[in-house]
Structure 1
Amino acid sequence: MRLHRLDLTAFGPFGGPQSVDFDDLSAAGIFLLHGPTGAGKTSILDAVCYALYGSVPGARQNGQGLTLRSDHADPATRTEVTLELTVAGRRLEITRQPPWERPKKRGRPGTTVEKAQSTLREYDPAAGAWKSLGRSHQEIGEEITQLLGMSREQFCQVVLLPQGDFARFLRADAEARGRLLGRLFDTRRFAEVEKRLADRRRTAEARVREGDAALLADAHRMQQAADGTLDLPELTPGEPGLADTVLAAAAQARSTARERLTIAECGVLAADSARAAADRALTGVRELARLQRRFADAQDRARQLAERAGEYEETRARMERSRKAEAVAPALELRDAADAEHRRATDADARARARLPREYADAGAAGLAAAARR
C-alpha cells in the first residue's frame, strides 16, 4: 500500500481544510511527523485509518462518531476525509463523511443530524478519469479489507502503533517488551501455532524414534545374517545420522551379499557342469554294463547249446527220418486201407460160405486158396 494524498476538513484539531501530500514527503524515501503535543500528529494517522475503515483506533470515537469533528470548525462546515492511495496495483480514492450536527435551515431554530456518507472511486488510466465503485459503507469496507488483507484491528496493531504504547515499548525490558508486543499485535494465534508446532515436533520426534528403533532392529538382524562381517557402530534411536549410517551399512552388506551370491552362482554352475559330466559317465557305464550282461547271457546260451549238441543231433536225425517217413505215408495208408478192405471181404466171404452146403463151401475155399496162390 502507498499513500498519495490526504485531505482533511473539520477533522480532529483541524478546523479548516488541510492537505498532506505523501508523494512529496516520501520523495526522500522516509519522512517524520513531529510537533508539540496536540499539534495533530495522531489525528493524521486517525484520518488515514478512518478513510480506510470508517473508524479510528482505540476509544477516540464514540458510538455516533461525533467526536471526530473538530471543535474549531464552522458549524456549517461538514467533516470530511479524502484519501488517495495505491493498493494491489489499483489507484483508489476514498471519501468519508461521519455523521454531524448541522444548524437547521428551515423551521424552528436548532440542529439536525445528517447520516454518514462514503464514496469509493478508482482511477482509470485508459480513460484518464475517476470512476465510481460504490457508496455503501459495508461494500467499501469489504473491498478495502480484501485489498489490504488486514482488518481494522490488525491494521491498527501492525501499522499504527499508539504513541503511549510505543514509549513503553522503548523503555521496557526484553520480557516486558515481548508481553507488550504480544498485546499490541495479538500474538496469541502465533503462540497457538507455536504450541501446535511444538506438539507436532514432539509427535514427529516420537515417530522418528519409533522408526529408528525399527530400523536398528532390522540393522541388527542384517548384522546377524552377515555372520559378523558387517561393521555397525553403536547407535541409539533419535540420534542424528542414524538412518544414513544404517543405509551405508546396508549398502555394504548388500555389496558383500552380491559378491557371495556371485560366488555361489559360479559354484552352482560348476556343480551343474560336474553333475552333467557325471550323468554322461553314468550313462556310458550303464550302457557298458548292459552290453556285458548281454555278452554273458550269450556265452551262457552258447555253453548250454554246446552241452545239448548230442541231443540236438539225435533230434535232428529223428526229424530227418520223420521227413523221409512222410514220403511213404500215403502208400502205407493205401496198404492199411487195402488190408481193411481185404479183411472185410474175407469176413463177408466166410459168412457167405457158412450159409452154403459143406461141399460147396470146401470147393469154394479151395478155389479161393488157389486164386490166392496165383
Structure 2
Amino acid sequence: MRLHRLEITAFGPFGTTQTVDFDTLSTAGLFLLHGPTGAGKTSVLDAVCFALYGSVPGARQGPGTTLRSDHAPADTLTEVLLDLTVGGRRLEIRRSPAQPRPKKRGGGFTTEKAQSTLREYDPATRAWTGLSKSHQEIGEEITQLLGMSRDQFCQVVLLPQGDFARFLRADAEARGKLLGRLFDTRRFAAVEERLAELRRAAAHRVEEGDARLLALAHRMAQAAAGLPAARTPVEG
C-alpha cells in the first residue's frame, strides 16, 4: 500500500481542511511525523484508518466521543479523503461520519448521515470512475485488498497507537495467522501440507512393510521349530 494524498476537514483538532502530500514526503525515502503533544500526529493516523475502515482505533471512537473538530465552523462538515495505491490499483476513498449540521430551513440542527464513496483511477483514460457508495462494499473491498481487518491494521501498521505491544503479547496462533496474511504464506503452507501428506503415506507403507516382515519372521520361526505354519495371509 502506498499513500499519495490525505485531506482532513473538521476532523480531530483540525478545524479547517489540511492536506498531507505523501508523494512529496516520500521522495527522500523515509519521513518522520513529529510535533509537540496535541499537534495532531495521532489524528493524522486516525484519519488514514478512518478512510480505510470507517472507524478509528480503540476507544477513540467509543461512546461519548466524536470525530468532529470542536474548532470547525458549524457549516463545515467533517470529511476525510485518502488517495492511495493498493494491490496495483489507484483508489480514492472519501468518508464522513454521522454528524450534526445546521438545518437548511429554519433554525437548529439536523443529523447528516455517514457517507462513503470509492473511486478508481484509470491510467488509460486519465479519469476517475465511481465504484461504490456502500459502506459495506467499500469495507469489504479495502479489507480484501489490504489483507487485514481494522484491528489487524491497527496492531501492525499504526505502531504509535501502542497496539503493536498487544500484537507482541498475542498467542502464537493469533500472530501466526496475522503474519501469514501479511506475507502471503499460503504457498509455503501448501508445500508444508504436501510434505506432511507424503510423510504420512510413507509412514503407512513402512508400517505395512513391518507387519509383513513380522508375519514372515513368525512363519519362519514356526517352520524351524517343526510346527505347522499359521495361516497368516501375507502379501507378496
The residue that corresponds to 1:4 in the other structure is 4
Shift of 1:187: 4.4
Q: Deviations over 1:174-232 (max 9, x none)?
A: xxxxx76033xx6443579xxxx9xxx9xx79x96x949x66x96xx99xx9xxxxxxx
Shift of 1:99: 1.1
Structure 1 Cα separation of the partners of residues 72 and 28 of structure 2: 34
Structure 2 Cα separation of the partners of residues 144 and 70 of structure 1: 26
The residue that corresponds to 2:91 in the other structure is 92
Bigger-Rg structure (1/2): 1
Provide structure 2 residue ranges, at least 5 long, that are not aligned to the other structure.
Answer: 178-191, 221-236
Structure 1 Cα separation of the partners of residues 63 and 140 of structure 2: 20
Q: Deviations over 1:140-165 (max 9, x none)?
A: 11111111111111111111124445
The residue that corresponds to 2:118 in the other structure is 120
Q: Does 1:148 align with 2:139?
A: no
Structure 2 Cα separation of the partners of residues 59 and 143 of structure 1: 25
Structure 1 Cα separation of the partners of residues 109 and 33 of structure 2: 36
Shift of 1:11: 0.5
Structure 1 Cα separation of the partners of residues 13 and 93 of structure 2: 21
Structure 1 residues 27-106: aligned runs within 5 Å: 27-62=27-62, 67-106=66-105
More strand by share: 2
Root mean square deviation of aligned Cα: 3.2
Q: Is the 8 A contact 2:154 2:161 kept in 1?
A: no
Count of residues in correspondence between the two structures: 197
Structure 2 Cα separation of the partners of residues 115 and 7 of structure 1: 20
Shift of 1:111: 1.4
Structure-2 change in CA distance of 1:191 and 1:46 (3 Å)? closer
TM-score, normalised via structure 2 length: 0.72
What percent of counterpart residues are identical? 68
- SS at the partner of 2:26? helix
Q: Of the candidates 182, 193, 199, which is equivalent to residue 169 of structure 2?
A: 182
Provide structure 1 residue ranges, at least 5 long, that are not aligned to the other structure.
Answer: 170-178, 226-374
What letter matches 1:182 in structure 2?
R
Structure 1 residues 247-262: aligned runs within 5 Å: none
Structure-2 change in CA distance of 1:6 and 1:43 (3 Å)? same
Q: Is the 8 A contact 1:122 1:130 kept in 2?
A: yes
List structure 1 runs of 4+ shifted beyond 2 angstroms: 161-166, 186-192
Q: Is the 8 A contact 2:79 2:96 kept in 1?
A: yes
